[in-house]
Amino acid sequence: MWGIVRRNVRGAGGLSSQDLGNYMMGLRPLASAMRNYSSAMKEMTVRDALNSALDEEMAADPNVFVMGEEVNIYSMKAESPLFITKGLLDKYGPERVLDTPITEAGFAGIGVGSAYHGLKPVIEFMTFNFSMQAIDHVINSAAKSNYMSAGQINVPIVFRGPNGPAAGVGAQHSQCYGAWYGSVPGLKVLVPYSSEDARGLLKAAIRDPDPVVFLENELLYGESFPVSAEALDSSFCLPIGKAKIEREGKDVTITAFSKMVGYALKAAEILEKDGINAEVINLRSIRPLDRATINASVRKTNRLVTVEEGFPQHGIGAEICASVVEDSFGYLDAPVERVAGADVPTPYAANLERMAFPQIEDIVRAARRACYRSVPMAATA
């Protein structure tokens, strides 16, 4: 680069060596800034983040293998709905990228058994709705074995796949299992939002000695997010059980996970126009839950809005509410607001489906109520 600059400058006016040196030194900060800008602006889809995390962990540890429906041949073809395992068969072969029949109970059980013997299976459910077929192995075999063996048996297994509502697939394929698995001792439950979350948390899950339920969101797979140079390093790993403050604020705390983090951030932008400075917390982990970060935020803002796509009764928001009431009740200046999915099976019709799950405007209204800024219904008529 510097050779090209020298030729151009000399050809333009014949500067002295000293002037040329000063000119070149002046360009160095600009070039450095351009490099930093380029690095900071690198983007990656959630799908690619998950794929790269799997690839790197399989390369680093020969005990890691992937098993599930269509993770092998179909992951390379256009018919595959997910593409998370794309390219892994060519690199690691059919012994480590195992296609299974449509039998979740079978391959989940095989995975748990292999984990007993020191392997590190990553079990893919095409959707976590199908994990109901395998829940006995997830809970009774994987989650409880370490306790029941007095710590003699570790079960280093990851159960991963899309969780929560997709779009237009009806009640049996559209619900959030965060509260289901989050209530089970012996499991760790992770809920990534961004590409950095996906890479760092999946790596942490695979390296963990205990069973991890890894709840992704299918509608986020194609979304791109900025990824730092640190997150692209093969050694990158996020701590399990630590939330991230995505946006700092002082007037109201909004907790969310998975796709709802994006909705909460958009709601915060709208609230800012009303003079409400919202703090948005990306939970990242449901079990263990980062109660310390949540309570510290509430003690600062004195208000709380919880957001989730799951059912309201016995939900994640209810647990967060209980934690804040137990530890920070004296700091609350308003009742806790819960924004959750409707207490009905997911409708198939698109208009009803939209009404069944939280929207950005629902979060905005809840935060305004918490800040006593809600507009009376008569005023909007």
Q: pLDDT value at position 15?
A: 46
- The per-residue pLDDT of the chain, averaged, comes to 88
173 is catalytic: yes
Q: pLDDT value at position 79?
A: 42
Distance, in Å, from the CA atom of 189 to the CA atom of 173, rounded to the nearest integer, reads 20
Is the pLDDT at 179 greater than 60? The verdict is: yes
CATH topology of domain 42-232: Rossmann fold (3.40.50)
Work out the end-to-end distance of the chain between its first and last CA atoms, rounded to an integer number of angstroms.
65
CA torsion sign for 200, 81, 188, 242 is positive
Closest alpha carbon to 84 in 133, 45, 35, 121: 45
Residue in the structure block whose two tokens are 């997911």? 346
Residue 76 — pLDDT band, cuts 50, 70, 90? low
Q: pLDDT value at position 93?
A: 93
Q: State phi, psi for 366 to the nearest 5 degrees.
A: -65, -40
Q: Which two tokens stand for residue 256?
A: 């969310």
314 is catalytic: no
Opening angle at CA 195, ends 191 and 197, nearest 5: 40
Kindly write down the DSSP assignment for every residue of 161-229, as one continuous string: EE-S--SS--GGG----HHHHHT-TT-EEE---SHHHHHHHHHHHHH-SS-EEEEE-GGGTT-EEE--H
Three-state secondary structure string covering 8-49: HHHHHHCCCHHHHHHHHHHHHHHHHHHHHHHHHCCEEEHHHH
Residue 192 — pLDDT band, cuts 50, 70, 90? very high
Q: pLDDT value at position 83?
A: 82
| Interval 139-160: pLDDT, tens | 999 999 999 999 999 999 999 9
Catalytic hit among 57, 69, 70, 104: 104
Is the pLDDT at 95 greater than 70? The verdict is: yes
Same fold, 42-232 and 244-371: yes
- Choice between 279 and 34, residue whose per-residue pLDDT is larger: 279
Residue 373 — pLDDT band, cuts 50, 70, 90? confident
Catalytic hit among 70, 124, 173, 353: 173
Preceding amide of 288 cis, omega within 30: yes
128 with 74: CB under 8 angstroms?
no
Q: pLDDT value at position 315?
A: 96
Residue in the structure block whose two tokens are 């109970």? 105
- Choice between 165 and 200, residue whose per-residue pLDDT is larger: 200
Q: What is 244-371's CATH number? A: 3.40.50.920
Q: Which of 2-11, 43-52, 66-75 has the highest mean pLDDT?
A: 43-52
Is the pLDDT at 183 greater than 60? The verdict is: yes
Q: pLDDT value at position 166?
A: 83
159 with 138: CB under 8 angstroms?
yes
Q: Provide the 3-class DSSP secondary structure of residue 244.
A: strand
Opening angle at CA 249, ends 247 and 254, nearest 5: 70
Please state whether 265 falls in left (phi above 0), alpha (psi between -120 and 50) or beta.
alpha
Is the pLDDT at 20 greater than 60? The verdict is: no
Distance, CA of 184 to chain centre: 20
Distance, CA of 201 to chain centre: 8
| Interval 295-343: pLDDT, tens | 999 999 999 999 999 999 999 999 999 999 999 999 999 999 999 999 9
Q: pLDDT value at position 375?
A: 57
Average pLDDT (88-98) is 93
Q: pLDDT value at position 374?
A: 72
43-45 and 224-226 beta bridge pairing: antiparallel
206 with 158: CB under 8 angstroms?
yes
Distance, in Å, from the CA atom of 212 to the CA atom of 138, rounded to the nearest integer, reads 9
In the chain, where are the structural domains located?
Answer: 42-232, 244-371
Burial class (CB in 10 A: 0-12, 13-18, 19+), 96: middle
Residue in the structure block whose two tokens are 């593409």? 83
Closest alpha carbon to 196 in 331, 40, 25: 40
pTM of the predicted protein model: 0.85
